[in-house]
Structure 1
Amino acid sequence: MPLTRISLRRGKSPAYRQAIMDSLYLAMRETFEVPEDDRFMTVSEHDGDNFSYGSGFLDIARSDDLVLIQLTVSNTRSVAQKKALFRRIAERLSESPGLRPEDVFINLVEVARENWSFGHGLAQYVQEG
């Protein structure tokens, strides 16, 4: 975990999409204590008529390069860690692939640790006993 879902408008290159995934992974490793190889990500591309956003909501000037990021994580991090994660994601995505911080929208969904199964139909985070 985390489970990462990335949504953006159709038309970006494979290298651009890969740079988003790589930058997100690095930011999570740096701020959220995500272990090596704990990387589960999807990218969904949308035509313009299926991608709607508030271009000025909260006085943030967004463009069609907006990337919507939803991270599902265990509810084990502090507010300080969450703030550090948000900041580092924006910094990393600014570096590569060159996104403006205004075009980085992040939603963090927290779940209890027992709500994960990484394979074999097991709840790996639940201690039997």
Structure 2
Amino acid sequence: MPLVRVDIQQNPDPTFARRIGEQIYAALRSCIDVPEHDNFQILNEHDAQHFVYDPQYLGIQRSDGVVFIQITISEGRSVEKKQLLFKTIAESLHAQLGIRLEDVFINLLEVKKENWSFGNGVAQYVS
């Protein structure tokens, strides 16, 4: 049920954004029990002119390597599971792709299950 959006500055490695998505999907599976094959992602790369961020908001020193991650999921996960997800994503991106922990920016949106349609104009989660 998650829909993941990833936004980064243009990267010379054409596989970089996809590899970020792979790490996020693995974290979703392990931290919040996302089922196999429930992998829907939009991966965007932007030139510097169209990629705006504050390099020191809340005392966190960000670089041009900042990764914006927005995850829309069905509501109902505990705060502890969400915190574990954030930590797992950041640590995985750091360990596997060398992304600085300070550069992992995550926004989680929770919606009711009736707000999803996976195709055919049907709200599959409505009972």
Q: Does 1:59 align with 2:59?
A: yes
Of residues 9-18 and 22-31 in structure 1, the stretch that sits farther from structure 2 once superposed is 9-18
Gap regions ≥5 residues in structure 1: none
Distance 2:96 2:38 in 1: 20
Q: TM-score, normalised by structure 2?
A: 0.97
Distance 1:12 1:85 in 2: 28
Q: Does 1:81 align with 2:75?
A: no
For residue 45 of structure 2, what is the aligned residue in structure 1? 45
For residue 119 of structure 1, what is the aligned residue in structure 2? 119
- C-alpha deviation, 1:11, in angstroms: 2.4
CA contact (8 A) 2:18 2:43 kept: no
For residue 18 of structure 2, what is the aligned residue in structure 1? 18
Distance 2:12 2:24 in 1: 17
**SS of equivalent to 2:123:** coil
**SS of equivalent to 1:70:** strand
Of residues 107-116 and 13-22 in structure 1, the stretch that sits farther from structure 2 once superposed is 13-22
- C-alpha deviation, 1:15, in angstroms: 2.2
Distance 2:78 2:107 in 1: 16
Q: TM-score, normalised by structure 1?
A: 0.95
CA contact (8 A) 2:8 2:17 kept: no
For residue 107 of structure 1, what is the aligned residue in structure 2? 107
Displaced runs of 4+ in structure 1, greater than 3 A?
Answer: none
- C-alpha deviation, 1:12, in angstroms: 3.8
Number of residue-to-residue matches in the alignment: 127
For residue 3 of structure 1, what is the aligned residue in structure 2? 3
Gap regions ≥5 residues in structure 2: none
